[in-house]
Amino acid sequence: MQARRDAAIRLLRTALVASIALPAAVFCWGAWVTYNDAFAHADEELNARMDVLAEQARTVFESVRLTFTSVDTIIDAIPDDKIKADEAKLHGQLHELENATVAVSRIWVLDKNGHAVVSSQQMPAPSYLNNADRDYFAAQVAKDSGMFIGAVHKARLANDQFIGVSRRRQLENGQFSGVIVVGIRPQVFTSFYEQLRTDDGGNFVLIRSDGSILARYPSTTAERMSPQGGFVQILSTQPRGGITTSRHTVDGIDRRVGIRKLDIPGLYVSAGIELREIYATWLHALSAHLIFGVPATILMFVLVLLTLRRTQAFYAEAEKRETAEQALRQAQKMEAVGQLTGGVAHDFNNLLTIIIGNINIAKRGVVEARAERALANALIGAERAAQLTQRLLAFSRRQPLNPRPLDANKLVTGMSDLLTRTLGENIKLETIGGAGLWSIEVDAPEMEATILNLALNARDAMPNGGTLTIETSNAYLDEEYCRHHAGIAPGQYVLIAVTDNGTGMQADTIEKAFEPFFTTKETGKGTGLGLSQVYGFLKQSGGHVTIYSEVGEGTTVKLYLPRFAGRQVATPSEAPETSARGRGETILIVEDDDGVRQYAAEILRDLNYQVLEARDSASALKLLDAEKNFDLLLTDVVLPGKNGRELANEVEKRRPGIKVIFMTGYSRNAIVHQGRLDRGTELIPKPLTEAVLARRIRLVLDSDAPAQAPDSSVH
């Protein structure tokens, strides 16, 4: 008996010790893990903030580079005496250039002694002032320092501050002849940083490599980083930046500080989070362990020990279920957003049709200037609302591709100016248009976005400059080629080849190039979606894309688009000028919204058309049963009962040859399939306007094309 008692006591004592020791060990381990997690999360947040700061700085200094380029164009190596002679004209040009960029506060051209030759601020320039003592001037005297970014200076003739950015002026023989100075408002950075303010004691800084502070939020009186601060600590071991913990020498607050070197020479951005906020996050996570662990340790330790494996399995299953439920909720949420956006767009576009239409009608009878201005302002507001509705549809990705016959040569030529500005001055653009080029049928805006995507990739592959060539030609893909490239049919194609002489790609990189989110760029410099978007657009357009590249030689991306064999129909802008008025034809309007239907009917009657009205498909079919004759069916897509597509199918069966125009504020599947507007479908988007309605109806009635051939299958 005693032995069994001792054994029981020993077991209880062991259990008692274990009930304290094991939870204590688990708690310490959990505390360490959550401590590291808290700092890891803080570091991720710092990197995200520095991404934002770096992007903003790149944008600002890119505008400064463009300003220098424009100033170079204006000055164009003009001698100082000639500049003084034309000072009034040059002052005006520099003043316009200054006003064109928010970040720029002043532009000065200084001679080799530091005296002003011409200024964007004052006319004449105060030549008695000597700026030779400024760092942005001194940095350019001995050598060409490129675009040198100086410290923050107080203006001598105005009560403001500016960051002086300079570029050397020199003669053809390389002799120094002065500098061009562009002043940047520090408020451009501090105002942006203020918008990023957080509740975790965060700070944001723009710093030069010598420790000079160019902009900081929250602001301080300090003009330079302390040698004991985190900035100097990081750069001493990590020249491109990193993350460390240090005490700020100005406010004495301990922070987790991140530093990142920018692509702009001599510039860094920094972001910080107070350590006490990181500790608070850690303690908050730790408290959950305490709340759960202490009662379980006192009351249920033995039970937890016996059921540990079952609990682990339970939580593993629960995690899988939670992951699946989150994915389902996300899919349902996005579907709900799309349906909500479509519903709002449909109803809102009906309302806007009534508003815009009646405002236009009201304007006809107004003679009082004040009332006319009021109606004009109301019309502007309604048109802005219509633009907002289109943006909602674009956000929900409910905008279908709308392919049209297109001349690829004209498209590339029209994009030349945009591409030249995008590529920069160190990359030469060449376009070679093929003779006798076939037409293609694509969505023009998406085609432009595709070429722009490829141009941006080529620019990144030529950091030191180069040549980008865009060449068009006719091509034929035979069966042998198509056997080695899945998803492409033999036939005639128009080839658009985009070639650069950049760094090129290795074979394994080419294999993965079209995969979503695959990128060879540094973190923060690319999403990995550019080429995957190009691939998806080409496949959706029935085309093909392939990459040819050699490391060190360059890359060619070839876009194959099917030849458009159909007869090209002139778009409204290309059609000859004819009267948009009716010639007594009869139009059947089917629209369930009374206000929209009444407005459309009134407009058409004013245009000399005969009008029949129906509020739904059933009413329209009754008119057909009653042998009512009409020349064109104008129907909404979304209708009670049968939708507009089904109504058009029924009308076609009963009266072949009747022409059909759809009108809609949003249509998902009735006239749009695989993301493309059904071929041959005539669509007038809402809100309706008199000019568009009159022109489109006249064009359809006057066209020699056969009537709308509806698709008998409604999805």
> Is residue 14 one of the residues assigned to a domain?
no
- Both 544 and 421 in one domain: the answer is yes
Give yes or no for residue 715 having a pLDDT over 50.
Answer: no
Are 701 and 682 within 8 A, CB to CB?
A: no
Give yes or no for residue 536 having a pLDDT over 80.
Answer: no
Give yes or no for residue 296 having a pLDDT over 80.
Answer: no
- Mean pLDDT to the nearest integer, 363-392: 66
Give yes or no for residue 148 having a pLDDT over 90.
Answer: yes
- Both 118 and 173 in one domain: the answer is yes
- Provide the pLDDT for residue 587: 92
> Is residue 577 one of the residues assigned to a domain?
no
> Is residue 326 one of the residues assigned to a domain?
no
- List the domain range (segments joined by +) for residue 592: 586-702
Could you give the C-alpha distances from 388 to 96, 351, 392, in angstroms and in order? 32, 14, 6
| Residue entry with tokens 């034929």 | 476
- Provide the pLDDT for residue 184: 93
Give yes or no for residue 144 having a pLDDT over 80.
Answer: yes
Average pLDDT, the chain: 79
- Both 59 and 205 in one domain: the answer is yes
What pLDDT, in 10s, does the model give residues 251-271?
678 888 889 999 888 899 989
CA dihedral 131, 137, 138, 144 (to 10 degrees): -160
Say how far apart CA 309 and CA 323 lie, in whole Å: 21
Say how far apart CA 425 and CA 413 lie, in whole Å: 18
Give yes or no for residue 306 having a pLDDT over 60.
Answer: no
DSSP state of 424: -
Length of the chain as a residue count: 715
Are 272 and 254 within 8 A, CB to CB?
A: no
Give yes or no for residue 20 having a pLDDT over 90.
Answer: no
Last residue of a domain, one of 398, 433, 450: 398
- Both 366 and 483 in one domain: the answer is no
Are 161 and 105 within 8 A, CB to CB?
A: no
- How many other C-beta atoms can be found within 10 angstroms of the C-beta atom of residue 489? 11
- Mean pLDDT to the nearest integer, 536-544: 79
* Per-residue pLDDT band at 390 (split at 50, 70, 90): low
Residue (of 534, 564, 291) closest to 405 by Cα position: 564
- Provide the pLDDT for residue 107: 93
Give yes or no for residue 667 having a pLDDT over 70.
Answer: no
Give yes or no for residue 33 having a pLDDT over 80.
Answer: yes
CATH code (residue 503): 3.30.565.10
> Is residue 23 one of the residues assigned to a domain?
no
Segment of 198-202, 496-500, 675-679 carrying the highest mean pLDDT: 496-500
Say how far apart CA 163 and CA 145 lie, in whole Å: 16
Q: How many domains does the chain have?
A: 4
- Mean pLDDT to the nearest integer, 553-565: 90
- Both 394 and 433 in one domain: the answer is no
Last residue of a domain, one of 398, 426, 454: 398
- Both 148 and 274 in one domain: the answer is yes
> Is residue 22 one of the residues assigned to a domain?
no
- Provide the pLDDT for residue 81: 87
Give yes or no for residue 498 having a pLDDT over 90.
Answer: yes
Could you give the C-alpha distances from 386 to 88, 113, 360, 362, in angstroms and in order? 46, 58, 15, 19
CATH code (residue 611): 3.40.50.2300
> Is residue 138 one of the residues assigned to a domain?
yes
Give yes or no for residue 522 having a pLDDT over 80.
Answer: no
- Both 93 and 227 in one domain: the answer is yes
- Both 476 and 412 in one domain: the answer is yes
> Is residue 301 one of the residues assigned to a domain?
no
- Provide the pLDDT for residue 680: 64
- Provide the pLDDT for residue 328: 54
What pLDDT, in 10s, does the model give residues 439-467?
998 888 778 888 888 888 888 888 888 99
Q: Which helix (H) or strand (E) holds 468?
A: strand 466-477
Give yes or no for residue 27 having a pLDDT over 70.
Answer: yes
Q: Kindly state the tokens that stand for 450.
A: 């595709």
Percent of the chain with pLDDT over 70: 75
Say how far apart CA 664 and CA 578 lie, in whole Å: 26
Ordered alpha helix ranges (H), 396-484: 408-423, 444-461, 479-483
Residue 344's Cβ-side half-sphere holds a number of Cα atoms within 13 Å equal to 16
DSSP 359-401: HHHHHHT---HHHHHHHHHHHHHHHHHHHHHHHHHHHTT-PPB
- Provide the pLDDT for residue 396: 45
- Both 248 and 168 in one domain: the answer is yes
- Both 361 and 414 in one domain: the answer is no
What pLDDT, in 10s, does the model give residues 607-633?
899 999 999 999 999 888 888 889 899
Say how far apart CA 564 and CA 195 lie, in whole Å: 51
Q: Which helix (H) or strand (E) holds 540?
A: helix 530-540
446-460, 506-520, 691-705: range with lowest mean pLDDT: 506-520
* Per-residue pLDDT band at 363 (split at 50, 70, 90): low
- Provide the pLDDT for residue 387: 57
> Is residue 324 one of the residues assigned to a domain?
no
Last residue of a domain, one of 286, 303, 325: 286
Are 363 and 372 within 8 A, CB to CB?
A: yes
154-163, 235-244, 577-586: range with lowest mean pLDDT: 577-586
Determine the 3-state secondary structure of 557 from DSSP.
strand
- Both 340 and 387 in one domain: the answer is yes
Give yes or no for residue 710 having a pLDDT over 90.
Answer: no
CATH code (residue 125): 3.30.450.20
- Provide the pLDDT for residue 302: 57
Are 545 and 538 within 8 A, CB to CB?
A: yes
- Both 414 and 371 in one domain: the answer is no
Give yes or no for residue 341 having a pLDDT over 90.
Answer: no
- Provide the pLDDT for residue 612: 92
